[in-house]
Amino acid sequence: MDITSIQPHKFLEVLDQGQLQDSIIVDVREPYEWDYYHMEEAVLLPMQQIPHRMGELPENKDIYLVCAHGVRSYRVAEFLQENGFDRVINVEGGMAAIGTLRGFQYD
């Protein structure tokens, strides 16, 4: 199974150009991580809640997944694909890479 991924600089480029308005950005980190630093455009849906809340995810839109470093979001992308979602995109490097590109240090 191939997971579609996007590099963080390309993700921010299309986001800043308004090209993701018909998409959803899902942050799969924990609430305490979200509280530390998050993207205003994203919705928080922690990884452990995904199986119980899949009905909240659109099947007709691209779903961009982000976590701290791109590992959990990759696993969520695999899970969603296995469960019939074919428009999932993992943001490589996660919030650590996004934060670095936006001038914010995220550990």
pLDDT attached to residue 102: 87
Q: Distance (Å, rounded) from C-alpha 6 to C-alpha 48?
A: 23
Spot the catalytic one: 15, 50, 65, 67. Answer: 67
Residue ranges of the chain with per-residue pLDDT less than 50: none
pLDDT attached to residue 94: 96
- Report the Cα–Cα distance between both ends of the chain, in Å, rounded: 30
Among the listed residues 11, 8, 26, the one whose alpha carbon sits nearest the alpha carbon of residue 92: 8
Q: Distance (Å, rounded) from C-alpha 84 to C-alpha 86?
A: 6
67 given a catalytic annotation: yes
Find the helix or strand (DSSP H, E) in which 80 lies.
Answer: helix 71-82
Domains defined for the chain, CATH in brackets: 4-101 (3.40.250.10)
The model's pTM is 0.94
pLDDT attached to residue 103: 81
Beta-carbon contacts of 102 under 8 Å, excluding residues fewer than 6 positions away, are: 12
pLDDT attached to residue 104: 75
- pLDDT tens, position by position, 35-66: 988 999 999 999 999 999 999 999 999 999 99
